Structure 1
């Protein structure tokens, strides 16, 4: 057997020797050649229907829950922007730079917490407890934002909203990647991200209702009611999520033993190896493997640049207010662009799954934002600027696929994938932090400097996305040339896939030859 090091994209740096070969041969001898008791759903004539039923069960139970959580995630995060229209700056005596810092400080806790959070998620057995616990905590902290009376108080509240929020989006993407195949993941992730886009619509409409009807009720300002009501709803949904969310394919309580086996087999077939960590894979080794992969760094900087280019999201109610209407009409006008963006996001992801293409489906929506910025820079008309807002909002259809592309580009082992998702989304959200200072009030109402910053940032992210594409093309070429080589950990996962599917190791190795990165 060759002693050369495996290619850089292989999931482990371990070399294998005669001992490993012997153990693999032992595994091959032990692989069952027939389907056992929990493999009843793998039988010919049963498998296809059972798989559709399993995916439908996941879609009906998991997706609505995480979409609802994501709606509340961004409603809670951006409530400050709506509260700004009803006097929060005046009541707390905030200067312009202090308000921008209130927006930015959430990301100061949100960004660094994502990597350890995803590493924890990969090691614990019950994500159905961990994620809902974090949801309840940030809901409570969001509600407590309503009692703040000073700049220091709202800064503290925002820090402790961002900390538990770090568990949700990268954690949800990782959890979905443990259940859906590569050709299913983009559309489901887009549905999840549609929760964010819809939240900008529903959040504005909810805020419009609360801010216009709750002013002075029980002697409390309307912006304080906004935080109380939205935070309380989030806590309730977090408690519901304990029941609704799954754990992992091997231990989810609301699936039968045969369904759990089928769920594992689906993912094993998709990648040609079991979607499980080997005995040598830990959270720390996964982090080290992710840090040694150059694609992770490029994807992280790409995500940072695109989120800086899309940072208008935190100021969208302010931007619609520049059209010249009152507070209620401005908040209502903020909704249609996000509804349109949700439709674009789902359609884009559906086609990405069908075609298996990633680069153009990620980058093309950014180019629409760039067109929107050009319109905003070139015309003062209300109609033109409102059309530009539709194009700007639709740019999030590209970001919706960023972590999907990360999961596809860094697929195995799960420890490495979870760390890579945390790194890419964590570092990427520095773009939101920087963007909090990119839409200065003194640059309004046209915000031309802000749009120029956005144009440059999205141009950079487009170039980096092209680099990632070319790296994946090169890695697929190396897979063609060096398919016979693999590490001990990789062979261990393939052997586990063979056991799950009732194949010999030789059959599993032959089938794995079809795996290629999506670009």
Structure 2
């Protein structure tokens, strides 16, 4: 809701990154449980501004036929951070113990926090703002950007004037559409960290391909359900056997299911196409609800379920089945909306067939937004 109200979202997002990088550095200085707990709380609080803000900013520039690949490029950054984060952690934890009198785990927070702040300063300069005021663009280019989004939405991609900040929240709620596992293979800590990287690299590449196909074929649902089914196959393998090779292959399938999660975000963005305030809240709500998985994960992947973690795999498999069912239901909702738009367009064409009308009437035609299914 805040990012929808400010004129420079680039500075808002970059500022959030600087603060969370600073908090990450401070985490390396904590000496007790309360200190660690407080830094983690504020880290999550500040980080929460980034992903919904970044997704919303992308939705201001790219149409529903382009957005999947752009979201995928953003999310692969997260996937690759899981891969390279493991590699960086392996190097730091192995080689920096006691450097300047600090434990290696503290150096992990120092280095990654400092890198985050450095990238944030670059982001403040590089990131665009909105199609109305972005730097580095000519007035004509900004006008083209606005026209593209207006044509895609069937109306101008702007909010009504003087609306309260909670306006989007009200609209969104009123709309019905609203690496532990690698260690089970039995290897040491350094080997485990190194082996965690390849599944995430695969997931990043698969996410890009899956999202490109979603844009290319103008379909959403097959590219959500397909990766989820792939993940289910991986869970079944992990439940059925303790063979190290088979379980490691299963990790690739499980990590690859993330590709479907990315397309869900694109569906949320394109399904709540206007007004922007409503879209901003919808994206944020999806992100907030998705974090419940991280909370539950602490209990679902309890060490008491090890070393096979069959119970944990069964729980997540069940969640995937429910997720597929909900996506199918959501598709039916979107299909009904498409049908209503098409009926309105047919009625308009019948009424105005063979009749001369002025340009204002043409613009008033119900060029309804089409949901990609």
**TM > 0.5:** yes
Tell me the CA shift for residue 278 of structure 1: 2.0
- Contact 1:139–1:231 under 8 Å retained in 2: yes
**Which of 117, 142, 156 is residue 235 of structure 1 equivalent to?**
117
Report 1:39-188 matches (<5 A). 119-188=1-70
- The corresponding residue for 1:269 is 151
- The corresponding residue for 1:341 is 203
TM-score of the pair, normalised by structure 2: 0.94
**Which of 86, 89, 92 is residue 207 of structure 1 equivalent to?**
89
Q: In structure 2, how many angstroms separate the alpha carbons of the residues matched to 1:225 and 1:173?
A: 31
- The corresponding residue for 1:513 is 367
RMSD: 1.7
- Contact 1:408–1:517 under 8 Å retained in 2: yes
Q: Secondary structure at the match of 1:329?
A: helix
1:357 aligns with 2:219: yes
Tell me the CA shift for residue 280 of structure 1: 6.2
Q: Secondary structure at the match of 2:339?
A: helix
Q: In structure 2, how many angstroms separate the alpha carbons of the residues matched to 1:245 and 1:336?
A: 30
Q: In structure 1, how many angstroms separate the alpha carbons of the residues matched to 2:145 and 2:341?
A: 27
- The corresponding residue for 1:427 is 289
Q: Secondary structure at the match of 1:517?
A: coil
Report 1:408-487 matches (<5 A). 408-483=270-345
- Contact 1:250–1:260 under 8 Å retained in 2: yes
Q: In structure 2, how many angstroms separate the alpha carbons of the residues matched to 1:413 and 1:359?
A: 24
Q: In structure 1, how many angstroms separate the alpha carbons of the residues matched to 2:200 and 2:223?
A: 18
Q: In structure 2, how many angstroms separate the alpha carbons of the residues matched to 1:236 and 1:143?
A: 13
Tell me the CA shift for residue 428 of structure 1: 2.4
- Contact 2:3–2:53 under 8 Å retained in 1: yes
- Contact 1:204–1:331 under 8 Å retained in 2: yes
Query: Number of matched residues?
Result: 364
- Contact 2:86–2:194 under 8 Å retained in 1: yes
1:373 aligns with 2:228: no
Q: In structure 2, how many angstroms separate the alpha carbons of the residues matched to 1:396 and 1:281?
A: 36
Q: In structure 2, how many angstroms separate the alpha carbons of the residues matched to 1:256 and 1:413?
A: 25
- Contact 2:224–2:264 under 8 Å retained in 1: yes
Q: In structure 1, how many angstroms separate the alpha carbons of the residues matched to 2:164 and 2:148?
A: 24
Runs of 4+ in 1 over 6 A off after TM superposition: none
- Contact 1:181–1:266 under 8 Å retained in 2: yes
Tell me the CA shift for residue 336 of structure 1: 0.7
Q: In structure 2, how many angstroms separate the alpha carbons of the residues matched to 1:206 and 1:190?
A: 23
1:219 aligns with 2:73: no
Tell me the CA shift for residue 321 of structure 1: 2.0
- The corresponding residue for 2:250 is 388
Q: Deviations over 1:358-401 (max 9, x none)?
A: 11211221111111110001111110000000001001101112
Tell me the CA shift for residue 121 of structure 1: 0.4
1:327 aligns with 2:177: no
- The corresponding residue for 2:352 is none
- Contact 2:341–2:368 under 8 Å retained in 1: no
- Contact 1:194–1:342 under 8 Å retained in 2: yes
- The corresponding residue for 2:355 is none
Q: In structure 1, how many angstroms separate the alpha carbons of the residues matched to 2:347 and 2:281?
A: 25
TM-score of the pair, normalised by structure 1: 0.68
**Which of 247, 258, 262 is residue 140 of structure 2 equivalent to?**
258
- Contact 2:342–2:368 under 8 Å retained in 1: no
Gaps of 5+ in 1: 1-118, 297-315, 487-502
Q: Secondary structure at the match of 2:65?
A: helix
Tell me the CA shift for residue 281 of structure 1: 4.4
- Contact 1:272–1:508 under 8 Å retained in 2: no
Q: Deviations over 1:298-328 (max 9, x none)?
A: xxxxxxxxxxxxxxxxxx1x32122122222
Q: In structure 1, how many angstroms separate the alpha carbons of the residues matched to 2:162 and 2:34?
A: 46
Tell me the CA shift for residue 240 of structure 1: 1.2
1:191 aligns with 2:70: no
- The corresponding residue for 2:126 is 244
Greater RCO (CA < 8 Å, at least 6 residues apart): 1
